[in-house]
Amino acid sequence: MMLADRLNAGFAAAYAAAPAITVRAPGRVNLIGEHTDYNDGFAMPIAIGQETQVAFTPQVGAPLQVAALDFADSDAFDPAAPDRATAGDWRNYVRGVVDELVRAGVSVPGGQMAIAGSIARGTGLSSSASLEVAVARSLLQAAGLDWRAIDIALLGQRAECDFVGVRCGNLDQIASACTQAGHALLIDCRSLDLRQIAMPDDARVMIVQSGVVRGLLDGEYNTRRRECEAAAAIMGVAALRDADAAMLAAARGRMDDVTHARARHVISDNRLTLEAAEALAAGDLVTAGVLMRESHRTQAQDFGITVPATDRLADILNAAIGPQGGARQTGGGFGGAVVGLMRADQVDTVREAVLASYRTPAGEAPMISIEAPCHGAQVLA
């Protein structure tokens, strides 16, 4: 069943009515620039066809009821004073958004909400950010407020940092809220300058799921962030965005090997992202591919966030794509997906190569999708 049909059927089953408002917010795949966002750096995602949809009928003065159709679970709370559920519970993403809206002075209505999505969790494609953005967008619509997309994104990020407890950067929420169809988005995560870069007509983005599921709450993410902050402090800069290779070399004697390696990846990936944006804007997939391969290498060797399955997948994709493009692990890491950039006429061969040589840890063929860059969050009805 199509996502919209599933959402409407679930809403009707839960509340015996049709919703007043429906919104969508996409997941994202990051082409390059990993763990750079919380270092005030650069990233370049596209929004993908997998998304979260929220159906909502507001009712002022009532509790906020939420039916999470994908979990066959529900919630109900006072939208004026949401409290925290157990760590790791999906409820915290919804309640966290409500909490941030209340803090921002929004009079959040209660009512009846249903949520359904097509992004598998733990696959590195930002199911949580799309949930936050979709919930925020629906509640703002109900309150009659027309916030800028970037402000919705930053609210979602605050909800995840302050309420859910993952100290994420702003990449995922900006990708879900601010992208334009047909374009990659170069994000300056400090200034919030956004540059829409038209995807070359003959370029295709392939996502291959490793089948190794990751979770940001496992602590490794927050550890990487602390390591980056330590490296910046040793170099005397506000964030790794402000450091370069020469500064890192000068500080080498004051850094342990791990801290040094973490900083080296971030400094390198910031540079690669800016170069990749220029390459993509010029339709130069060859150069973009070289940069993506290098980004995978530093994720593996310096940042320690790849796993054998994603290393292997990246190797398979890079061998099949050849010099016409490249592939790298995408997202927070420790599993998830690999993203490949290639020419349209290579898609079939690359897909066959992956299916011939890779099986998930469960012994299955990996999920493969070809993504055309989608539009950011929108009100559908």
Task: Give catalytic residues, as residue numbers.
Answer: 172
Largest CA distance in the chain: 67
Instruction: Choose between 125 and 251: whose C-beta lies nearer to ligand GAF.
Output: 125
| Phi, psi angle pair for 134, to nearest 5° | -65, -45
**Shortest approach of ligand GAF to residue 79 CB, angstroms?**
25
Residue 295 host element (H or E): helix 285-301
Half-sphere exposure of 114 (CA within 13 A, CB side): 25
In the complex, the smallest distance separating the C-beta of residue 223 from ligand GAF, rounded to whole angstroms, is 13
**CA 209, CA 27: separation in Å to the nearest integer?**
14
> Contact residues for ligand GAF (CB under 6 A)?
30, 34-35, 37-38, 168-169, 171-172, 331-332
7 vs 305, which CB is nearer to ligand GAF?
305
Q: Which amino acid is at 55?
A: A
Q: How far is the CB of 142 from ligand GAF (least distance, A)?
A: 27
Is the Cβ of residue 34 or residue 302 nearer to ligand GAF in the bound state?
Answer: 34
For 177-246, give the DSSP string: HH--TTEEEEEETTT--EEEEEPPTTEEEEEEE-S----GGGSHHHHHHHHHHHHHHHHT-SSGGG--HH
Under a CB-based contact definition with an 8 Å cutoff, are residues 44 and 184 in contact? yes
Per DSSP, the three-state class of 124 is coil
CB of 326 to ligand GAF, least distance (A): 17
Minimum CB distance to ligand GAF, residue 331 (Å): 5
Closest separation in Å from C-beta 167 to ligand GAF: 9
In the bound state with ligand GAF, the residue whose beta carbon lies nearer, of 55 and 207, is 207
Nearer to ligand GAF, 34 or 75 (CB): 34
Q: Which long-range contacts (CB under 8 A, 24 or more apart) does 239-245 make?
A: 239/39, 239/40, 239/41, 239/190, 240/36, 240/39, 240/40, 240/41, 240/266, 240/267, 240/270, 241/36, 241/39, 241/40, 241/41, 241/189, 241/190, 241/270, 242/40, 243/267
Q: Which is nearer to ligand GAF, 33 or 111 (CB)?
A: 33
As measured in angstroms, the least distance from the Cβ of 373 to ligand GAF is 18
Nearer to ligand GAF by C-beta: 30 or 57?
30
Token representation of residue 250:
């000068």
Rounded distance between C-alpha atoms, residue 68 and residue 318, angstroms: 38
Tokens encoding 285 = 């997939």
Measured from the CB atom, the residue of 10 and 332 that comes closer to ligand GAF is: 332
Taking the complex as a whole, how short is the minimal distance between the CB of residue 329 and ligand GAF, in angstroms? 10
Handedness of CA 148, 195, 370, 313 (dihedral sign): negative
CA distance 76 to 91: 10
CA atoms within 13 A on the CB side of 368: 21
Virtual CA dihedral for 144, 149, 150, 151, nearest 10 degrees? 10
